[in-house]
Amino acid sequence: MKRNFSLLFLLFSSTFVFGQNNLSNSVKLGTSTINEVVSAMTLEEKANLVIGTGLRFEGNGPVIGEADGRVPGAAGNTLNFNRFGIPGTVLADGPAGVRIDATRKNDTKTYYATAWPVGTLLASSWDTTLVHKVGVAFGNEIREYGVDVILAPGMNIQRDPLNGRNFEYYSEDPLVTGLIGSAMVKGIQSNGVGTSVKHFAANNQETKRNSIDAMVSERALREIYLKGFELVVKNARPWTIMSSYNKINGVYTSESKDLLTSILRDEWGFKGIVMTDWYGGRDAVAQMIAGNDLIEPGSKSKSQNIIDGVKNGMLDEKVLDRNVTRILEYILKTPSYSKYQYSDKPDLKAHAQIARQAAVESMVLLKNNENILPLKKGTKIALFGVGSYQTVIGGTGSGQVNVAYSVNISEGFNNAGFTIQPELSKQYTTYIQEDKLAHPKKGSLTLGAPRMVPEYSPSTETIENAVNSCDVAVFTLSRNSGEGADRTVKDNFNLTENEQSIIKTLAQSFHQKGKKFVVILNIGGVIETASWRDWADAVLLAWQPGIEAGNSVADVLSGAVNPSGKLAVTFPVNYSDEPGAKNFPGLPVENPTHVKYEEGIYVGYRYFSSFAVKPAYSFGFGLSYTQFAYSNLKLNSDRFNKKITATVVVKNTGKVPGKEVVQLYISAPVKTVEKPELELKGFAKTGLLKPGESQTITFTIDARSLASFNTEVSSWVADAGNYTVKIGASVEDIKLTKNFALENDLEVERVHKALVPQVKIEELSRK
């Protein structure tokens, strides 16, 4: 009997186990409901799904699994669970292009990607149609390389020029950031792949990025640091958002329910998943509760924390299930889920042409005395500067791209039919070669401040020869930076003594012979220009222009394309003029733990215009080879009722075709809330206008555009009074104004009391 009983038990139990397997084996993502899948998953499986897998950093491993290693070099993955038909998905950097390994073990094929012009350059186009076009091509490349989500775009505000990652970000202004970012996200996602808009939020420096506490007022957060993200979430519905490394007002962003649930989901209606930045935050349970669905790239200990959290009651399993549900909803949308047969052969040639066009349409002409640009065909160029021969196409770190080639400025000039003085060319290339041999590059990923080849000082004789044999001198000044380190004021924001002296010597030598001197700025972030710009006859801000850098620069200098970019960030005279300078990168000085945003809402031009501080080049500024006249500003009403429409006529009054960036600012009455002098509330770029041709531009101003955040009542409010619409070619160059009245105070939207500072922040005020 005993034996029979055991047999029966064995039979029963094996039937039971068999039955259970059978049951869960029949549960499949796609055919079963998500609820059924979640119910069939074990606690351990769920904990492993909310933990990513992939990248290894020394000392941080081991990570769980390897997904299926489909795309080497991709920054992360989500894990696959074959028994539920859940594929792994692939997440890859970054804002300037698909960052994956270009070559693979035992594989003769190559996997190079397009380096798009950096974010700061794209934003200087002020052209959402152009950025959308870049996004569409970028998205195609993402999909064709087997990637599901690109860890981009970078949408932090350029609070301070020294942030080493500014090149990845768009602007100092939230509207430019939000609209350019929306165009990029829509373009990329139109390919059926996702974006991860990053780094949410107030990640405005690299110094102590993993622990710094950004102490920011609720108003500055809402109006400046969250606004761009709000616009992109509402306009473009990104699949995912990446929380940032830093804390806001004492709480890690990835652990902040205020940020990730109350604001992002409840107020803005975000429906996708939130992932951490790589190894970001500390407390996995707090992250789960806050609504940070996915922890990247995941570690065994994090998954154990989650399992323990559920077991000891700190984490309600329903919360875990909610996050798992969101991740499964995401997976259902991915190319990995639909088993898309990617080609690994995107049309890199076609994409390079789009990168070239985008760069050309975004470069900013800062100075052009006596219209010396464009250079005439056949001009003999004395080409100086290491950056002319080794042009920086983009920044470092996760914003870097593995390219098959890139075109430097000297090659670009050659391609455009200019003659480059060969002697100079030889000297520079030999110098760069020797430097490379002396300082071999270690590894493919550079974190922190990259080493730059020091500027070369040509001898007096070399310069004399160049003056005698060439028509014009061109000097390229380069900078590079990337994640992990901020830039310094000395020798980086400011020019080195050597750079200053080369500029001066070249200018004097060429001017003495009646020849002109042009400077090209090949930089990823704002630098000092006021002390040396008088030496130059022309200055072209080329930023970091991506893979076709040299061809793009040549297109502008040859006049093949008329420049039409404008600054999306202010260039101050001195670094100390910056509103955030006095507390960047935080305190204590030797080892910052926190940074107080005492400038409040007065970031960038909001500060310079409100406090009458003259910048070197103002926000919105940029020259063209033609001129534009503004006329006929009309408002559809002089009283605000839900919205107001403004129209203005822009005419090309010069001699060559061109495009103009038209900006709409508003100056508001001051009653309950303090206001900056003026704020950008709309912008548009004309089409290519022929000489004599006009275009009417229409702007719509809604109630939200008038409102500011009133902290007292946690509301967006617009005070009654007189408002002025200012149409400008830049923030300093207002061409036309018109007034309208708001008759009654308006409460536009009441929101949560959230992200409240734990300490007093003495904010800058105009009162």
Q: What residues are labeled active site?
A: 277
Rounded CA separation 172/679 (Å): 12
Task: Pick out residues in 24-83 that bind ligand BGC (CB under 6 A).
Answer: 75
Q: Which residue has the tokens 């009651």?
A: 313
Helix 460-469 and helix 422-438, axial crossing angle in degrees, nearest 10: 140
**Of the candidates 760, 766, 692, 638, the residue with the CA atom closest to the CA atom of residue 217:** 760
| Residue among 170, 139, 246, 152 nearest 201 (CA) | 246
Looking at beta carbons only, is 480 or 663 nearer to ligand BGC? 480
Residue from 126, 278, 418, 535 touching ligand BGC (CB under 6 A): that is: 278
What would the x/- binding string for ligand BGC be over residues 169 to 208, using CB under 6 A?
Answer: -----------------------------x----------
Which CB atom, from 155 or from 453, has the smaller least distance to ligand BGC? Answer: 155
> Are 294 and 278 contacting, i.e. CB atoms less than 8 angstroms apart?
no
CB of 94 to ligand BGC, least distance (A): 6
DSSP class of residue 16 equals H
Is the Cβ of residue 372 or residue 447 nearer to ligand BGC in the bound state? 447
CB 67, min distance to ligand BGC, A: 15
Nearer to ligand BGC, 197 or 507 (CB): 197
* Closer residue to ligand BGC (CB): 24 or 398: 398
State in angstroms the smallest separation of the CB of 619 from ligand BGC: 26
Smaller CB separation from ligand BGC, 77 or 398? 398
Smallest gap from Cβ 203 to ligand BGC, in A, equals 8
Task: Give the number of C-alpha atoms closer than 13 A to the C-alpha of residue 185, restricted to the C-beta side.
Answer: 28
Query: Residue 172 gets which letter from DSSP?
Result: S
One of 73, 87, 94, 238 touching ligand BGC (CB under 6 A) = 94
Any contact of residue 277 with ligand BGC (CB under 6 A)?
yes
CB of 473 to ligand BGC, least distance (A): 39
| Distance of alpha carbon 445 from alpha carbon 398, whole angstroms | 8
| H or E element at residue 680 | strand 679-685
CB of 205 vs ligand BGC, minimal distance in Å: 12
Neighbours of 279 (CB within 10 A): 17
For ligand BGC, the closer of residues 101 and 471 by Cβ is: 101
| Subset of 403-432 contacting ligand BGC (CB under 6 A) | none
Nearest residue (CB) to ligand BGC, 143 versus 198: 198
**Do 185 and 191 contact (CB within 8 A), yes or no?**
no
Distance CA 27, CA 33 (A): 9
The separation between CA 152 and the C-alpha centre of its own chain, rounded to angstroms, equals: 7
Rule CB under 6 A: is residue 229 a binding residue for ligand BGC? no
Q: Compute the distance between CA of residue 171 and CA of residue 57 in angstroms, rounded to an integer.
A: 31
Per-residue contact string for residues 473-512; x = within reach of ligand BGC by CB under 6 A: ----------x-----------------------------
Residues 6+ apart with CB under 8 A from 442: none
Choosing from 45, 93, 499, 548, the residue that interacts with ligand BGC (CB under 6 A) is: 93
CB 626 within 8 A of CB 582: no
CA proximity to 598, closest of 615, 583, 618? 583
Residue 363, φ and ψ in degrees, nearest 5: -65, 150
Nearest approach in angstroms of CB 151 to ligand BGC is 4
DSSP string, 360-388: HTT-EEEEEGGG-PSPPTT-EEEEESHHH
In the complex with ligand BGC, which residue's Cβ is closer, 218 or 483? 483
Length of the chain: 767
Residue 151 lies near ligand BGC (rule: CB under 6 A): yes
Q: Are 573 and 565 in contact (CB under 8 A)?
A: no
Q: Closest CB to ligand BGC among 279 and 532?
A: 279
Q: Which residues of 554-581 are buried (b: 16+ CB within 10 A; e: fewer)?
A: bbbbbbebbbbbbbbbbbbbebebbbbb
Helices 497-512 and 460-469, interaxial angle, to 10°? Answer: 40
Q: Strand pairing of 721-728 and 661-667?
A: antiparallel
Number of residues that bind ligand BGC (CB under 6 A): 9
Assess contact for 139 and 189: CB atoms under 8 A: yes
- Residue listed under structure tokens 């993993």: 210
State the nearest-atom distance from the C-beta of 397 to ligand BGC, in Å.
7
| Residue spans of alpha helices (H) in 237-385 | 257, 284-290, 300-311, 317-333, 348-360
| 47 neighbors 78 (Cβ within 8 angstroms) | no
User: Smaller CB distance to ligand BGC: residue 75 or 616?
Assistant: 75
* Least spacing, CB of residue 652 vs ligand BGC, in Å: 41
Residue 377 CA neighbour count, 13 Å, CB half: 1
Q: Would you tell me which residues interact with ligand BGC (CB under 6 A)?
A: 75, 93-94, 151, 198, 277-278, 398, 483
